[in-house]
């Protein structure tokens, strides 16, 4: 991977749609925009425009992307937002900082995600200039002002209210904050259970702001099995490749509380605005039984060096596997394109064990019946 910062694995939040034209009974229905917030798991290139070390803009990133070139995605190919857009027949939304995001392209939506960020403002400080969550939401407000100048306030409100939103954040608050160094500031301040509660409280504030800014269909992903990614196997895992118990404990505490918080927000609002994506379970399935999903390994990263290819950055000098489809992890933290496809399959059609209270296919059908 391009740097030590897993992003909360989840396709929960946002997932989706890139503003495609939904056609029903031969007639074009409402255009639906797609907005993406979060970290490196869903960043499509915003960090390319920033002075930061959290970048994926050099080979071999993008080796399997349609252009065969790096784009700023922390993947060998397509990431989760791309794959959701593809499944829905739309084009990928552009990074908000891209100069190409102007004119009618604004109406498709935007990707505000930035690699390295977390729920907390002090997460990822080692990466310097990144777009923290509060700033991503500021940009979302700015985006609406830009669109309003083109199509008016009323139509902009409708566009945002009918959009799909994906939010993937949280993993870095553990890997690149609490557990970044021994006796980190946050680990001295909070026990792990109290830190998780603190994260949930702060995340709730961010999600409330998403709602206040007009988000009405918001997929929120949980964090993946943090202790099982190649970087943590190399640095903290057992002698026989066992996952890191402490990081697994963090994920096990965090994900159920995230689901409970989302349910509480929906109860307060009176409708199912926030959809929980259990990306942790989605990952666990192919991590514990990789051969069942066509992988030869879920421990060794395709690109990297050191034990499990889990140390350092993914660069032209790294070990590089010849067949990315056989690896669950592309780099030390991020899933391969094939693994991302498995996750998106669950987002689209998974049971309530994976998507609560409903999957994306159900959401799309439900919303289409109302339009």
> Which candidate in 82, 331, 332, 336 is catalytic?
331
Q: What are the φ/ψ torsions at residue 308 (nearest 5 degrees)?
A: 60, 15
Phi, psi (degrees; rounded to nearest 5) at 227: -75, -5
Decide if 58 is catalytic: no
Cα separation of 106 and 100, whole Å? 9
Task: Please name the residue that has the structure tokens 């409330």.
Answer: 208
Helices (H), the chain: 80-87, 133-151, 153-161, 171-173, 185-189, 192-212, 230-235, 245-269, 279-288, 337-349, 360-370
What's the distance, Cα to Cα, between the start and end of the chain in Å? 42
Q: How far are the Cα atoms of 299, 327, 328 from residue 289, in angstroms, in the given order?
A: 11, 12, 11
Find the catalytic residue in 92, 173, 334, 336: 334
Is 334 considered catalytic here? yes
Taking each helix axis from N to C terminus, what angle separates 337-349 and 360-370, rounded to the nearest 10 degrees? 50
Q: Which helix (H) or strand (E) holds 355?
A: strand 355-356
Q: How far is CA 215 from CA 209, 227, 307, 344, in A?
A: 9, 32, 42, 21
Q: Which of 40, 85, 244, 332 is catalytic?
A: 40
Residue 113 per-residue DSSP state? -
CA distances from 130 to 90, 156, 285 (A): 28, 27, 32
Catalytic residue set: 40, 331, 334
């Amino acid at each position: 991977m391009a740097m030590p910062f897993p992003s909360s694995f989840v396709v929960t939040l946002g997932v989706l749609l890139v503003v495609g034209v939904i056609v029903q009974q031969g007639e074009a229905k409402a255009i639906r925009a797609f907005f993406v917030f979060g970290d490196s798991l869903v960043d499509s290139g915003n960090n390319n425009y920033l002075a930061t070390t959290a970048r994926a803009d050099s080979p071999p990133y993008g080796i399997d992307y349609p252009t065969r070139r790096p784009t700023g995605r922390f993947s060998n190919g397509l990431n989760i937002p791309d794959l959701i857009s593809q499944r829905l027949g739309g084009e990928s939304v552009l990074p908000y900082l891209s100069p190409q995001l102007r004119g009618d392209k604004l109406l498709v939506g935007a990707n505000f995600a930035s690699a390295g960020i977390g729920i907390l403002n002090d997460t990822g400080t080692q990466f310097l200039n990144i777009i923290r969550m509060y700033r991503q939401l500021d940009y979302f407000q700015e985006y609406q002002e830009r669109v309003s100048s083109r199509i008016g306030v009323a139509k902009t409100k409708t566009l945002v209210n009918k959009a799909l939103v994906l939010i993937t954040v949280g993993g870095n608050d553990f890997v690149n904050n609490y557990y970044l160094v021994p006796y980190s500031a946050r680990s001295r301040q909070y026990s792990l259970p109290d830190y998780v509660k603190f994260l949930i409280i702060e995340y709730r504030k961010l999600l409330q702001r998403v709602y206040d800014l007009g988000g009405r269909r918001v997929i929120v992903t949980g964090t993946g099995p943090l202790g099982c990614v190649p970087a943590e196997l190399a640095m903290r895992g057992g002698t026989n490749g066992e996952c890191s118990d402490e990081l697994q404990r963090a994920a096990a505490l965090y994900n159920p509380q995230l689901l409970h918080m989302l349910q509480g927000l929906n109860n307060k609002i009176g409708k199912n605005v926030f959809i929980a994506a259990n990306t942790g379970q989605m990952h666990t399935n192919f991590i514990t039984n990789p051969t069942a999903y066509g992988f030869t390994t879920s421990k060794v990263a395709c690109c990297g060096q050191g034990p499990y290819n889990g140390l350092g950055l993914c660069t032209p000098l790294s070990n590089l596997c010849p067949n990315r489809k056989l690896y669950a992890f592309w780099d030390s933290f991020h899933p391969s394109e094939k693994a991302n496809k498995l996750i998106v399959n669950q987002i689209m059609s998974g049971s309530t064990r994976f998507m609560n209270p409903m999957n994306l296919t159900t959401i799309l059908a439900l919303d289409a019946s109302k339009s």
